[in-house]
Amino acid sequence: MIQTTTLPPLAQPIISAVAVGYFAVVAAIGIWATRKTRTASDFFVAGQGIGLWALAIASMAATLSGFAFIGGPGLVYSVGIGAVFIILPVSLTNAMGAWVLAKRMRLLAEVRDMITVPDAIGARYRSPLAQGLAAVAILIAVVGYMATNMLALGLVIDAIFGVGLTWGIWIGTLITLAYSVSGGILAGVYTDVFQGSLMALASVLVFVYVLEVGSGLSGISRTILGADPGFMGPWGKLTPLAALSFFFVFGLGSLGQPHVVHKFYMLKDPRRLKWYPLIMTVALFVTLLLYVGVGLAVKSLVVSGTMPPLGRPDDATPTFLLRFTPLLLAALVFSGVAAAIMSTVNSFMSIGAAALTHDLPVALGRRVGNELRWGRISTVVISVVAALVAQASGTLVAFLGIFGWGLFASTLVPALAIGLNWQGATRAGAVASIATGIVVTLVFETLAYLRVYAFPAGVTVSGLSLVASMLVFLVVSMLTQESEGAAIDADIRLVMEV
Amino acid sequence: MTRTIALGALLLSTLLIAAAYVGALVAAVVPPWTPWALMIGTSTIMLATMVLGASRAGRGIGRLAVPFVAMFLVLLVGFGAALVMPIETVGSPLWLGLPPRASVILYGIGVLPLFVLPIAYAVTFESLTLNETDLERVRQMKAKRSPS
């Protein structure tokens, strides 16, 4: 049960009731989507039939995991304003993603009926090897990401219902699996719309309480400045290099997140992309108010003596909610945290299953007979593996979760985002950069995990691997351009020129 | 031409970011120039990537040059100001509720582009990104590839 602070009377039943109501809505959407899912295209790309709002809100929900509601505010509480550099690029990244990827991905789906991100890489370079390598990178990162999120989901369910962590992990996995296996990405998208709306609403309401409790932003700033001016500096407790490194990795790296990029295939009418960046950016901005607000407010309350220091930074959000907001809102946010995690897990289930069922067989020159059936089986297999990993070890899970973003970024940003906009990019460049991303990320993350080598403050493996794969991609492509000639199919070339 | 310049900027900015990381890795104490290199490199790589994505074969980026340059300057000036402005004390003034340097970062870099880039994308969508003619060309290509 929730134990971060002494619970007010009736807290547990209200939080549990709201959570049950939330899971019932998710189940209803799953049942509706199951009836509409008849083909592999329905299962993996929602039959290319979703609207603009569904695309934008589902992408927002998939982008934000439980970190935005629990880990993020905890990080702000620990290191101050510097923690904001993780989400700071949001004001730029959605427009950047729209210019660089949205139109081209959607038009690729138009000419080739593509269903996965590695499909686009395979078609762009006419290379099953590049497609297969991208699928391997996605599979590794997906299992790590899912394990981290399932562990978080287990913690949330345990906190709400008091069932223990192991049961929490498996209950969360089964609920997410139930609608993902039956309704595929269609269920995922529409539960994401519900979950994303819930997250945005909860975040705005909590931010109002943040301002009220802290006597406005000025009150919060003055209180913290009096005790710890460095906390309110632009880098917080981080070094400038570390904060800027976050901005680089989470800014440019956003172009390589397949659970978001993949959704561009699903939009019914490509002309509706016009308003995508605005809706997505505003939705993210609103939902991230909690990330910044709660972290600063709790620090201010601790500094002023209103609250005792937290035992763990991750207690910032639960403690604030239970002490300073109405019970119903606290319950809504707890469901919002589960929503954030489940929407991310569902997206990973879908792209992981597609990599296993579609991309790896294509890379090996084969085709799976019934992609819908095998897609469902793969979803179960990947989820069970991730849930087992989530149970295995806390430190291992944390390790796996850390490199997910970096692995996606270093393997997909050069080959996909740059490659779809540069006709001079070559197959050799793509293969070399994806391989570089995988090797650099795995080797250096393992060295850091085993404490064989400690990086100086500000140097992250994600940043290093992204830079290394970018350089390899650019240099190898430039060196191999003449030997490869114009190795782009006419339809792909058209998509790159339009 | 636009794409060639964007690619050149992409390569140079990647090298600058690599230099920042290598500089921090090899020195006993992180050299003071590394945040500057990372800041300039990151701002440039974001600009170059956007230009590369927005430019179309033989047509450049047209009116988008204005919001792109504005965004680039916001990043450079914002990060630069955070690096050079004096450290706040208890009595420092607040700008919109935050200490000046944090305010520059949060409002300047975190909020201001929100009102520029997505709107620039929407306003120029038909003329510079995708219109009915483009879609028709793509659909004709698909029909040509699979006449059945």
**Percentage of chain B lying above the pLDDT 90 cut:** 77
**A252 interface with B at CB cutoff 8 Å:** yes
Angle, vertex CA A106, rays to CA A43 and CA A100, nearest 5: 130
Inter-residue contact A348 to A62 (CB < 8 Å): no
Q: What is the pLDDT of residues A51-88, one digit of tens each?
A: 999 999 989 988 887 778 888 899 999 999 999 999 99
Inter-residue contact B108 to B101 (CB < 8 Å): no
pTM here is 0.92
Alpha-carbon torsion (A242, A244, A247, A253), positive or negative: negative
The pLDDT score that the predictor gives to residue A413 is: 97
- Quote the minimal CA–CA distance from A55 to chain B in Å: 16
Inter-residue contact B42 to B18 (CB < 8 Å): no
The pLDDT score that the predictor gives to residue A178 is: 83
The pLDDT score that the predictor gives to residue A48 is: 79
- What are the extents of the domains in chain B? 2-145
Q: Cβ contact (<8 Å) for B111 and A91? A: yes
Q: Which residues of chain A fall short of a pLDDT of 70? A: 1-10, 393-402, 483-486
**A216 interface with B at CB cutoff 8 Å:** yes
Chain B positions in Cβ-Cβ contact with residue A252 (cut-off 8 Å): 42, 45-46, 49
The pLDDT score that the predictor gives to residue A3 is: 47
Q: Cβ contact (<8 Å) for A232 and B83? A: no
Inter-residue contact B24 to A454 (CB < 8 Å): no
**A98 interface with B at CB cutoff 8 Å:** yes
Give phi and psi for B95, each to the nearest 5. -110, 110
Chain A positions in Cβ-Cβ contact with residue B77 (cut-off 8 Å): none
**Percentage of chain B lying above the pLDDT 70 cut:** 99
Chain B positions in Cβ-Cβ contact with residue A220 (cut-off 8 Å): 97
Strand partners, A351: none
Instruction: Give the architecture (CATH level 2) of A11-392.
Output: Up-down Bundle (1.20)
Q: Cβ contact (<8 Å) for B39 and A92? A: no
The pLDDT score that the predictor gives to residue A304 is: 94
| pLDDT confidence band for B108 (50 / 70 / 90) | very high
Angle, vertex CA A334, rays to CA A264 and CA A309, nearest 5: 120
Q: Cβ contact (<8 Å) for A252 and B49? A: yes
Q: What is the pLDDT of residues A384-430, one digit of tens each?
A: 998 998 887 555 666 666 678 889 999 999 999 999 999 999 999 99
The pLDDT score that the predictor gives to residue A486 is: 59
